[in-house]
């Protein structure tokens, strides 16, 4: 397990999400959601994709305007960037892989370097998905 965790922690410094998709989702959230309220308190939340979907559905019911495709992008952006944090010291390899968007089947550093999801860029934008608190 320590070897897997080490690979995942090493991946923290080498993974990157597609910037264009992130920027598009962020712009949609800012444009659509800030018409009615401040984003500060909303973006402090950590919700699952299902919870974000329910929140967006509620906002649509209250008059939020956009296409179905736009709302789907908003939900995906929120779930990806403001989803529940993974407790690194308690998480399974699968949970870490999901949070960092890296393949689960990594057995060596060479596998890590050649993984399609890894582009060799810093993944500073994913650090908020992780909780390094000591296990209880």
**pLDDT at res. 63:** 93
Comparing 17 with 49, which gets the higher pLDDT? 49
**pLDDT at res. 122:** 46
Do 124 and 96 lie in a common domain?
A: yes
Do 34 and 49 lie in a common domain?
A: yes
* Contact between residue 78 and residue 32 where contact means Cβ atoms under 8 Å apart: no
Alpha-carbon gap, residue 76 to 53, rounded angstroms: 9
Do 6 and 29 lie in a common domain?
A: no
Do 74 and 29 lie in a common domain?
A: yes
Task: Give me the domain span that covers residue 53.
Answer: 19-81
Binning pLDDT at 50, 70 and 90, where does residue 80 land?
A: confident
Tens of pLDDT, residues 19-74: 566 788 999 999 998 888 888 888 888 998 999 999 999 999 999 999 999 999 99
Q: Quick check: is 73 in a domain?
A: yes
Do 34 and 74 lie in a common domain?
A: yes
Find the mean pLDDT for residues 84-113: 79
Do 69 and 31 lie in a common domain?
A: yes
Alpha-carbon gap, residue 23 to 96, rounded angstroms: 24
Tens of pLDDT, residues 87-98: 888 988 888 877
Do 68 and 109 lie in a common domain?
A: no
**pLDDT at res. 125:** 63
CATH (domain of 38): 1.10.760
Q: Quick check: is 25 in a domain?
A: yes
Domain tally, the chain: 2
* Contact between residue 30 and residue 70 where contact means Cβ atoms under 8 Å apart: no
Q: Quick check: is 136 in a domain?
A: no
Q: Quick check: is 75 in a domain?
A: yes
């Amino acid at each position: 397990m320590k070897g897997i965790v080490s690979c995942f922690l090493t991946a923290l410094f080498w993974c990157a999400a597609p910037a264009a998709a992130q920027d598009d989702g962020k712009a949609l959230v800012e444009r659509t959601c800030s018409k009615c309220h401040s984003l500060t308190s909303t973006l402090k939340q950590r919700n699952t994709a299902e919870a974000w979907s329910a929140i967006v559905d509620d906002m649509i019911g209250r008059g939020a305007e956009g296409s179905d495709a736009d709302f789907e992008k908003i939900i995906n952006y929120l779930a990806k960037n403001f989803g529940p944090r993974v407790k690194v010291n308690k998480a399974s390899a699968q949970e870490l892989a999901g949070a960092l968007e890296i393949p689960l089947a990594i057995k060596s550093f060479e596998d890590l370097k050649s993984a399609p999801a890894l582009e060799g860029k810093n993944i500073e934008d994913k650090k908020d998905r992780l909780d390094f608190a000591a296990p209880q």
